[in-house]
A and B are shown apart, each in its own frame.
Chain A
């Protein structure tokens, strides 16, 4: 992890402070970039995903290439307001308890993170520098000087310590990395993280990619919401918030990053993605935080719309209960995995804009992904043979449970059709999320009482830690596979402790091999995150977690 290599971002900040380009220069600068792939995507290029393939760097972020153009266009002139279509926050705007992209987007406007969204990697946010000790058990974060809270006070290390204590008390302690007292403040501008187990990905856990790690003031008691106490350090101040209609943000004049070009952002909440697309086409909004490929065709074809498409680790897990029911034999699980025609599924559901999954959670976009494990392909004869070996010579009958969300119902239908040819007689039970998670997925936590077969959704993460720890480690909170393997648990520890890319890739290869062989869950794909904006605006940046950034955006 190149924790000290922050030149590009420092350059960005320098631009911010001093840069005053004319509009013509901005355009020239943007076009001169080697990969203005967002433009290509908009032009209908088949593989025009604006992919931020980490070029030699060991990054794990899904960042839009748009960032690059943003760097060139940081001009604090122009003004204007951008109208943004976003999904409705699902719950209170509580930075620690929130769990949906709608809320992430809101929080990221007002609150900053120690590490922010960078050009294909994380970049300095409230911290300007971070260094680990030799075995990654101690991390020192140097904080930015002169940062003010929107209500006036100075931002200090005490705020960071207080935030982390809250994250330990009511959150998941950065995925279990820290416990009470682990974070200390040697001086007002230094924070020290002392970890029980080595963790080389800590900076990602305190970055925008772990949205719940937003830094809030000392007095921001657990359970406080952004709208109840709008006091961040971020580029925007919350002006008004209505959970049913939208939120208005105005420029934070005292922001450490300088004066933003736009005067504000007007977020409108939508219950439905296709309505966002119609709104965009009808000119009611300027940007869409996220939309789907199927149904968004009109925007892909629109010459005035800039599609931001990025690879992400967003995936679906077709879990099989490994401790009870008909799927306890790994040959049965392998048989189901062999039934799927993954390329065809990706073609149908995402028009090809997804990475093929190989039944493990190390997404191909992670720099430490190992391609040593052969890709599983369709083989229905082998599937039938395995089923017969496992004691199901006449095939296996089961209920495939699935949550009614985005493309999942269609995925369930495809799995049913394809599995039928491999000897599985599946009945579909697609339920709304209101009942699905509590009855089919996990009835209690750590996960217990799961159905024997089901499909559940996982959002993008900058690193696979959460997937591994929560969904597949023994006794994990969301381990609906009820999977327990000492080998995998050991491999996960090894992965977390490895600081070097080579070691990390080696650890991941072990994880991939175990998961691919034992198949606690079929993971058919990792699909691209798609958002976009009108070409009237430049410099709009987007993370794959619904956080759209307008600090560098310019209307023109």
Chain B
């Protein structure tokens, strides 16, 4: 097992390198004038030229690529092109905030969706099952920024139960922060509810129909017992994969929710970095998202292995 984990971590480094290279190629391919883009269309030509000089934008691409690799290897992330501030300082705050929000969203959505999926499977083809599936589908097809804006208007502005924007003042207590974070986290949770619940439902139904659960039922176990002892274990695997893939997305792909609630998280950093083609910031932010993906998928694979003896055997080899 430890050897397996080490191997996976080493492979993750390869993926990260691949990722960084893809991003670099993408940004380099874009026929955009980075300096002009950052300084604005009305900036004088002289300052645009000075800007290009300052950040070596006119160097050959190999030189720029080398510089980039060096900055990643030495952990000296350099200066942001768009704000002229150290990249590190621009990343850690948003990363911390994104973790808080993503964590809360997962905390809300995981138990509810898994529970709903199980219930739907257990009471398959009843009104309850249909209701859960339909609600899940409907909510999953409405963009996060719409769900977010609706929640903000209803529970923030009209009812005033929670804060309508998530700009948390300094020195707010953990419980007080919940007041600001609940609505955006709920908006994110709602979007993923349908997907996770459906995966759980179909996984559970499949394992309920498989031979071993049939045997268990024949042995005289009740429905709930079968569900707990046998089905749950086996149906969790695809669900865990789905959740693990979504975690990275919760960090870097929820621009809509972050914009609506004005929450300065990693998604907005990435959005701005893409818009400015601010490569130093974009690289680090994307690498972090990539790292999160890799860690969560590794974790999911380990848990799946632990749940499924056959897969465990394979990992041991």
- Direct A–B touching in the complex (beta carbon < 8 Å)? yes
Partner of A275, one of B82, B93, B259: B259
* A272 in contact with B262 (CB, 8 Å): yes
Q: Which residues of A contact B (CB under 8 A)?
A: 88-92, 94, 96-100, 169-172, 222-223, 225, 227-228, 242-246, 268-272, 274-276, 278-279, 281-282, 284, 432-435, 437-439, 441-442, 445, 456, 459, 470, 477-478
How far is it, in angstroms, between the C-alpha of A433 and the C-alpha of B277 when the chains are bound? 12
Give the residue of A100, A171, A228, A244 whose beta carbon is less than 8 angstroms from that of B264. A244
Cross-chain contact A268 with B167 (CB below 8 angstroms): yes
Q: Inside 8 A of B167's CB, which chain A residues have their CB?
A: 245-246, 268, 279, 284
Contact of A438 among B33, B44, B47, B262 (CB under 8 A): B33
The chain A residue sitting closest to B91, CB to CB, is A244
Contact yes or no, A100 B47, CB < 8 A? no
- The answer to whether A94 and B84 have CB atoms under 8 Å apart is yes
B165 adjacent to A170 (CB under 8 Å): no
Residue among A100, A268, A271 making CB contact with B268, cutoff 8 Å: A271
Contact B163 A282 (CB under 8 A): yes
Q: Is B156 an interface residue (CB 8 A)?
A: yes
Q: How far apart sit A88 and B167, CA to CA, in the bound complex (Å)?
A: 14
Asked if B39 and A91 sit within 8 Å, CB to CB, the answer is yes
Q: Mark B40-74, 1 if CB is under 8 A from A, else 0.
A: 11111111101100100000000000000000000
Contact B45 A445 (CB under 8 A): yes
Taking A245-B264, A269-B262, A434-B276 as known contacts, 5 extra A-B pairs with beta carbons closer than 8 A to each other, sorted by chain A number, are: A97-B39, A272-B259, A279-B165, A442-B41, A477-B44
Q: Considering the complex, which residues of chain B in the window 127-157 have a beta carbon less than 8 Å from any beta carbon of chain A?
A: 149, 152-153, 156-157
Please name the 10 residue pairs, one residue from A and one from B, whose CB atoms are nearest each other, closest first: A99-B40, A282-B164, A92-B84, A172-B44, A279-B165, A97-B47, A244-B264, A437-B41, A243-B83, A278-B164
Q: List 15 A-B contacts (CB under 8 A).
A: A91-B39, A91-B83, A94-B84, A169-B46, A223-B54, A223-B84, A271-B258, A271-B259, A271-B271, A275-B260, A278-B152, A432-B275, A434-B276, A438-B36, A445-B48
CB atoms of B44 and A91 under 8 A apart? no
**Nearest opposing residue in chain B for A169, CB measure:** B46
B275 A278 Cβ-Cβ under 8 A: no
Interface centre among A92, A169, A172, A268 (most CB of B within 10 A): A92
- Say if the beta carbon of B206 comes within 8 Å of chain A: no
Q: Are A282 and B259 in touch, CB under 8 angstroms?
A: no
B225 within 8 A of A: no
Q: With an 8 A cutoff between CB atoms, is B124 at the interface?
A: no
Q: Which of the residues B37, B51, B90, B156 comes within 8 Å of A243, measured between beta carbons?
A: B90
The chain A residue with its CB closest to the CB of B157 is A281
Cα A210 to Cα B192 in complex, Å, equals 48
In chain B, what residue has the closest Cβ to A279?
B165
Are B85's CB and A243's CB within 8 A? Answer: yes
In the complex, A276→B164 CA distance in Å? 10
Given contacts A91-B83, A477-B45, contact A279 B40 (CB under 8 A): no
Given B30, B43, B45, B84, which contacts A225 in the complex, CB threshold below 8 Å? B84
Alpha-carbon distance between A270 and B261 when the two chains are bound, in angstroms: 9
With contacts A243-B83, A278-B152 taken as known, whether A438 is within 8 angstroms of B31 at the C-beta atoms is yes
**Do the beta carbons of A171 and B275 come within 8 Å of each other?**
no
Contact check, B262 vs A268: say whether CB atoms are below 8 A apart: yes
State the B residues within 8 Å of A (CB): 30-33, 36-48, 50-51, 54, 82-85, 90, 93-94, 149, 152-153, 156-157, 160, 163-165, 167, 258-262, 264, 268-269, 271-272, 274-277
Q: Measured between C-beta atoms, what is the minimum distance from A73 to chain B in Å?
A: 27
Q: How far is the CA of A470 from the CA of B41 in the complex (A)?
A: 11
Query: Judging by beta carbons under 8 Å apart, are B93 and A244 in contact?
Result: yes
A270-B90 in contact (CB<8A)? no
Distance from A167 Cβ to chain B, minimum over Cβ atoms (Å): 9
Chain A residues within an 8 Å CB radius of B41 = 99, 433, 437, 441-442, 456, 478
Please name all residues of chain A whose beta carbon is closer than 8 Å to the beta carbon of B153 when the two chains form the complex.
Answer: 278
Query: Does A278 contact B93, Cβ atoms closer than 8 Å?
Result: no
Q: Give chain B nearest CB distance to A106 CB in angstroms.
A: 12
Q: In whole angstroms, what is the CA distance A445 to B46 when docked?
A: 11
Cβ contact within 8 Å between B37 and A437: yes
Question: Are B40 and A100 neighbours in the complex by a CB distance under 8 Å?
Answer: yes
Q: Which residue of A lies closest to B83 (CB)?
A: A243
Option from B33, B50, B163 in Cβ contact (under 8 Å) with A223: B50
Q: Assess the A242–B93 pair: CB atoms within 8 A.
A: yes
Q: How far is the CA of A478 from the CA of B40 in the complex (A)?
A: 12
Q: Nearest Cβ in chain B — how far from A244, in angstroms?
A: 4
Q: Chain B contacts of A98 at CB under 8 A? A: 40
**Closest B residue to A242 using CB positions:** B93
Q: Please, which residues of chain B bring their CB within 8 A of the CB of A432?
A: 275
> Of all chain B residues, which has the CB nearest A272?
B259
Q: Is the CB of B165 within 8 A of A284?
A: yes
User: Are B36 and A437 in contact (CB-based, < 8 A)?
Assistant: yes
Q: Which residue of A lies closest to B42 (CB)?
A: A99
Query: B165 and A97: CB pair below 8 A?
Result: no
Nearest chain-B residue to A437 (Cβ)?
A: B41
In the assembled complex, the Cα of A269 lies from the Cα of B94 at a distance in Å of: 14
Question: How many angstroms from the CA of A212 to the CA of B122 in the assembled complex?
Answer: 67
Which residue on chain A has the smallest CB distance to residue B34?
A: A438
- From known contacts A223-B54, A270-B262, infer whether A434 and B165 are also in contact, taking CB-CB under 8 Å: no
A169 to B47, CA, bound (A): 8
For A459, the chain B residues whose CB sits under 8 A away are 42
Out of B32, B42, B48, B51, name the residue touching A434 (CB < 8 Å).
B32
A136 to B277, CA, bound (A): 44
A225–B84 Cα distance when bound, in Å, is 8
Assess the A170–B164 pair: CB atoms within 8 A. Answer: no
Q: For residue A171, which residue of chain B has the nearest CB?
A: B44
A172, B50: Cα distance in complex, Å: 13
Question: Chain B residue with minimal CB distance to A244?
Answer: B264
- Given that A170-B50, A223-B54, A244-B268 are known contacts, is A228 also in contact with B40, CB under 8 Å in the complex? no
For A97, give its contact among B51, B163, B260 (CB under 8 Å).
Answer: B51
Q: Are B47 and A96 in contact (CB under 8 A)?
A: yes
